[in-house]
Copies of this chain bind each other. A is one copy, B any other.
Amino acid sequence: MAKRTGSKNQILLDAAVKTFARTGYHRTRVADIAREAGVADGTVYIYFQNKEDILISLFQSLMNRFVDELYSELAQCINANEKLEKIITYHLTTLGSKPEQAKVTQLELRQIDQKINEGISKPLLSYFKLIEEVIEEGKEQGLYRQDLNTRTARKVVFGGIDEVVTCWVMSGKPYNLADLKESVFELLIRGLQK
């Protein structure tokens, strides 16, 4: 009957995060997700085109929320430095508090064909864009070097944060991810500043 179509859609995505995090994308059978969600196998195909589509939808859903929330948080910051600090804090804190999401984001999502990667790149691009905007802003505010290549800077900034998260996930998470935020910020901010 589907009172809110969103409801079962979300139930399935939640089941998918759990199952992917537990078993890994390739080892997960569609039947596993269905069982975890408490529905029949065929029901999955009412809401998603196929197995890949589940992964992509999942990432888009996670990423959209991530970027949206981050955007509103940034509104309170007064300059690029604060914004960069907020980005790092938010990134590490959010993933640090959602280990299942982190595992899917850092490991499972990279286990897919390049073709599918395109479906994943799009929502990621908005995060990239956000970082680049902050860097540009810093340059305009006279905080960052004028000769900074914004795109390369963004890659280094994102890559640095991302690697910190990946190492945490792969280590089995024996320490608090968010605790690294000052170290990471210090390392990255200096590269940008005059």
B-contacting residues of A (Cβ < 8 Å)?
24, 26-27, 107, 110-114, 117, 121, 148-149, 152-153, 155-164, 166-167, 170, 180, 183-184, 186-193
In the complex, how many angstroms separate the beta carbon of A145 from the nearest chain B beta carbon?
8
**Residues on B with beta carbons closer than 8 Å to the beta carbon of A113:** 24, 26-27, 111
Copies in the complex: 4
Chain A to chain B contacts (Cβ below 8 Å), 22 pairs? A26-B26, A26-B111, A27-B113, A107-B110, A111-B111, A111-B113, A149-B180, A149-B183, A152-B183, A152-B187, A153-B187, A155-B160, A155-B167, A156-B187, A157-B160, A159-B162, A159-B163, A159-B164, A159-B166, A163-B163, A187-B192, A189-B191
In the complex, how many angstroms separate the beta carbon of A76 from the nearest chain B beta carbon?
25
Cβ contact within 8 Å between B152 and A156: no
If over half of A's interface residues share one DSSP class (helix, strand or loop), that class is named, otherwise mixed; here it is helix
A188 to B159 CA separation, bound complex (whole angstroms) = 12
In the complex, how many angstroms separate the beta carbon of A150 from the nearest chain B beta carbon?
10
